[in-house]
């Protein structure tokens, strides 16, 4: 998630101070990705260093205000116009967990999948309930519309994850069935156990 570009987008609406930016960012995204004030001011310092924002005096309460610069507007336009790069996806903890669970001794991967599916479906139901609550009235402002977009993305993401977990379970079941029906390879004399006949007793 690009916090720096999110802050630039908010600053394009006018000068803001740090805690104000945090509040507006969380309002726009429904607090899905909460920020702390220190994170906001650290990002503002880097934006100022890069010439993308400038300090713009203080408000009536003495808060230091920041404004977007022309270079910041150009950076923001480029961000909006450039597709998000999917060629180097971020690490996904669930995918890594299942990849490592395959064949791990003492791990029941089907139990891992079922536990995750239960959590994912519950999250999807919670998001759907929030969406229904949000749609009881027509969205009144841009922040409510933005929150709906984020919420629907979370719903679609959870749906896709649940389908992927179903696929993983089906694939593992097919592999297990195939392994169970494969004929055992004949044992070679070198690798197999040798049978020795008992000497016959002489009469």
Contact 81, 73 (CB under 8 A): no
Query: Which positions ≥6 away from 150 have C-beta within 8 Å?
Result: 29, 30, 32
- List the structure tokens of 5: 């570009």
CA angle, residues 110, 116, 117, in degrees to nearest 5: 85
b/e map of 82-97 (b: 16 or more CB within 10 Å)?
A: eeeeeeeeeeeebeee
Sign of the Cα torsion 29, 30, 31, 32 reads negative
Q: Give residue 193's pLDDT.
A: 46
Write down the residue that tokens 């903890």 correspond to.
Answer: 93
H/E run at residue 143: helix 142-181
Q: Give residue 33's pLDDT.
A: 84
List the helix and strand counts (H, then E) for the chain: 7, 2
* Nearest-angstrom CA–CA distance, 200 and 203: 9
- List the structure tokens of 32: 């899905």
* Nearest-angstrom CA–CA distance, 43 and 49: 10
Please give the radius of gyration of the chain, using alpha carbons only, rounded to the nearest integer.
Answer: 29
Q: Is 170 helix (H, G, I), strand (E, B) or coil?
A: helix
Q: Give residue 29's pLDDT.
A: 87
- Weakly modelled stretches of the chain, pLDDT under 70: 1, 182-203
Q: Give residue 91's pLDDT.
A: 86
pLDDT in tens, 91-119: 899 999 999 998 889 999 999 999 999 99
Q: Give residue 30's pLDDT.
A: 81
Q: Is 68 helix (H, G, I), strand (E, B) or coil?
A: strand
* Nearest-angstrom CA–CA distance, 49 and 109: 49
| 68 φ, ψ (degrees, to nearest 5) | -80, 140
Query: Which positions ≥6 away from 187 have C-beta within 8 Å?
Result: 193
């Amino acid at each position: 998630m690009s916090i720096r570009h999110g802050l630039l987008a908010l600053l394009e609406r006018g000068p803001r101070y740090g805690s104000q930016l945090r509040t507006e960012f969380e309002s726009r995204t429904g607090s899905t990705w909460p920020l702390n004030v220190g994170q906001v001011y650290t990002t503002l310092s880097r934006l100022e260093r890069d010439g993308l924002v400038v300090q713009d005096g203080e408000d009536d309460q003495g808060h230091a205000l920041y404004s977007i610069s022309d270079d910041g507007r150009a950076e923001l336009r480029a961000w909006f116009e450039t597709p998000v790069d999917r060629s180097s996806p971020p690490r996904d903890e669930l995918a890594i967990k299942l990849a490592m669970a395959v064949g791990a001794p003492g791990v029941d991967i089907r139990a891992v999948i079922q536990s995750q599916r239960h959590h994912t479906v519950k999250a999807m139901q919670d998001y759907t309930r929030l969406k229904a609550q949000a749609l009881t009235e027509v969205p009144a402002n841009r922040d409510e519309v933005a929150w709906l977009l984020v919420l629907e993305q979370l719903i679609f993401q959870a749906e896709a994850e649940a389908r992927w977990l179903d696929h993983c379970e089906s694939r593992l079941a097919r592999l297990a069935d195939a392994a169970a029906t494969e004929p055992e390879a004949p044992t070679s004399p070198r690798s197999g156990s040798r049978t020795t006949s008992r000497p016959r007793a002489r009469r």
